[in-house]
Structures are given as C-alpha cells and as structure tokens.
Structure 1
Amino acid sequence: MYEEKHKHLKELEKVLVSRIDNVSHDLSSEHSADSAEQITERENEDVLRNLKEETQLELKQVRSALKRIDSGEYGMCAKCGEPISAARLDALPYATLCIRCAS
C-alpha cells in the first residue's frame, strides 16, 4: 500500500546518511595556522555541528517511518489514531501526527 512512500523514504535515508558522512568529514578537517581564519573555521564548525544534529534527528524520524510501514502503522496518527492525510504525508513523509493533532 505504501510502496512508493517506502521507496521515497529509503532514498531520503541514503541522502541523509551521505550528508552526515560529509559533515563529519568536514568537521574532522585540520585547522588553519592563521588565528583569524581559525575564528571563522570555529564558527563554521558550530553551523556544521547544528546541521549534523538536525540531520541525525531527521534520519531517526525517517527510520522510524520505515519501521511503521513495515509494522502496518504508517499513516495513522500516533495521538488520535485517525489516518494522516495523503497531502500531509506527501509534505512530511515521516509525520506521526495528523494535522489536527499537530496543531
């Protein structure tokens, strides 16, 4: 029933894993010897760490959605038990709440 969603979520999972790997690689890069550049590098590292944390959270949500597809619980609101609209799942394929409960 949700084969297309499963495929989309698996593709998204690959993108997110790749993004995390790239950010991790960037975070492990050597620092410049120039102290002025080091300040900029540290600011960039803060941005990268935040991006990594957000991406890890999204990956967790994607993997949770994949498990819900496998268990037959996908597309049902975790709060009220009603179906989540197709439009909401199109916009946010790992949504766990219907629009009413999310408001």
Structure 2
Amino acid sequence: MDVARYEHILQARKAELENRLSRIEQDFTTPRNPDDDDRAVERNNDEVLEELGEVGEKELVAIDAALARIDAGTFGTCAKCGQPIAERRLDAVPHTPLCQVCAGED
C-alpha cells in the first residue's frame, strides 16, 4: 500500500476543507441585509452553511485521526478488528478507521 499517496490525498482534502470552512465563517460575519424578505432567505442560507460547516469539521477530525494513524504506522489497519482495510475502501474514504465488515456492523 502506498501510504504516502494517501497522506497526500488526506493533506489536500484537509486544506480544501479548511479553506471552505474559512469561507463559511466569513459568510457568517458578513453584514446582513435590513430587508425582511432578504433576511429570511439569509437565515435559510445560514442553516445550510452551518450544516456544511459541521459536516466539514467532523471530516477534518477524521482526517486528522487518519494522519495520526499514518504517523503511528497503523494507517490501513482496522481500528476495530485489526485486519487490513482494503485499498478500494481507502480509495473511496481515505480517512476511514474501519474495514468494510466492521463499518457495516455499526
């Protein structure tokens, strides 16, 4: 398994998420429109942005954990059963800590 390739993928995704979260934060600090109708739309947009921000933050935590597993030499090993995680699974979800079998048990 090419751990360096996964590390590169994880680092790139982390940078992308940090950039996106920064832009979301900037949107929240932008002055609001005084028009009532526009404010209602902005509130709906804020809810969507907040959800995207929460999802992004959770993915960042998972990416940081995967990078820590790379540093520890345990990347690609299921955290639950200790078996290797299939590269096909890592290609789809590089930050996954679980093999396909263990992920399906939850």
**How many equivalent residue pairs?**
103
- In the other structure, the counterpart of 2:45 is 44
Shift of 1:28: 1.0
* Percent identity of equivalent pairs: 36
Q: Gaps spanning 5+ residues in structure 2: where? A: none
| TM-score, length-scaled by structure 2 | 0.94
Q: Gaps spanning 5+ residues in structure 1: where? A: none
- In the other structure, the counterpart of 1:63 is 64
Shift of 1:23: 0.4
Shift of 1:29: 1.1
SS in 2 for 1:10: helix
The residue type paired with residue 101 of structure 1 is C
Distance (Å, rounded) in 2 between the aligned partners of 1:67 and 1:78: 13
SS in 1 for 2:11: helix
- In the other structure, the counterpart of 1:98 is 99
- In the other structure, the counterpart of 2:89 is 88
Distance (Å, rounded) in 2 between the aligned partners of 1:28 and 1:51: 16
Distance (Å, rounded) in 2 between the aligned partners of 1:52 and 1:27: 11
List 4+ stretches of structure 1 deviating above 6 A: none
| TM-score, length-scaled by structure 1 | 0.97
Q: Where does 1:2-81 land on structure 2 (aligned, <5 Å)?
A: 2-81=3-82
Distance (Å, rounded) in 2 between the aligned partners of 1:25 and 1:33: 19
The residue type paired with residue 11 of structure 1 is A
The residue type paired with residue 84 of structure 1 is I
